[in-house]
Amino acid sequence: MPNALIVIDMQNDFCPGGALGVAGGDQIVGHINTLMDRFDAVILTQDWHPADHSSFASNNPEGQPFEVVEMPYGPQVLWPDHCVQGTSGAAFHRDLRVDRADLILRKGFRREVDSYSAFYENDHQTPTGLSSYLTERRLGALTFVGLAHDFCVAWSARDAAELGFEVSVIEAATRAIDLNGSREQARTDMINAGVELV
Ligand code: VGL
Ligand code: ZN
């Protein structure tokens, strides 16, 4: 079965010094670049928000960054402004082998709903189209790496397993934000969904 490496959000804003920097986020780039040679296809995702995105604390006068608020689709963490379309923060880490990618999938571009998963918006209903793309290409075995382990990587891996793909996460090629124990929670959720943690 053909396999794909799905590299989640390896962007400047998720690396140290970025707007939502994940500790050690830049240390995994070399590992990810090396892994690319082992896969039939490489897919990159890119968090890609309009400046007025509803997940930004700056657009929610009542909320502080990292607070959880209730959105029409459920609970949502408010984030510092990050990965704004066209900014250097939204660009990929400069050492990432972007040329190796068959597909760059952008997500989070709708103002009114956030999108952690590469498969669905946070309403868990609106698809990004990735599932159909993978199915048409017969890419049935998926390996996830990138940032952040406990948000976009975990939500993507879980959805992929629920959609019937064979899924693994290479934990050494991820780093976590770890908000109120979110890293351990994400690990438990992934294992329960049938994701293999390598
Ligand atoms: C992410 C928070 C907000 C991620 C994206 O890539 O994990 N986290 N937007
Ligand atoms: Zn985001």
Among 26, 81, 83, 107, the active-site one is 107
Query: For residue 183, what are the domain limits?
Result: 3-47+82-197
Residue 195's pLDDT is what? 98
Residue 62's pLDDT is what? 85
Residue 165's pLDDT is what? 98
> What is the 148 CA–ligand 1 centroid distance (Å)?
6
Measured over the CA atoms of residue 118, residue 119, residue 121 and residue 122, the dihedral's sign is: negative
Give per-residue pLDDT as tens, 19-28. 999 999 999 9
Report if residue 66 sits inside a domain.
Answer: no
> Count of domains in the chain?
1
Report if residue 58 sits inside a domain.
Answer: no
Residue 3's pLDDT is what? 98
Report if residue 72 sits inside a domain.
Answer: no
Report if residue 184 sits inside a domain.
Answer: yes
Ligand 1 site, residue 47, Cβ cutoff 6 A: yes
> What is the 10 CA–ligand 2 centroid distance (Å)?
12
Q: What is the CATH number of the domain that holds 118?
A: 3.40.50.850
Report if residue 56 sits inside a domain.
Answer: no
Report residues of the chain scoring pLDDT below 70: none
Among 9, 13, 26, 81, the active-site one is 9
Report if residue 35 sits inside a domain.
Answer: yes
pTM for the model stands at 0.97
Ligand 1 site, residue 118, Cβ cutoff 6 A: no
Share above pLDDT 70 across residues of the chain, in percent, rounded to a whole number: 100
Report if residue 96 sits inside a domain.
Answer: yes
Ligand 1 site, residue 152, Cβ cutoff 6 A: yes
Report if residue 63 sits inside a domain.
Answer: no
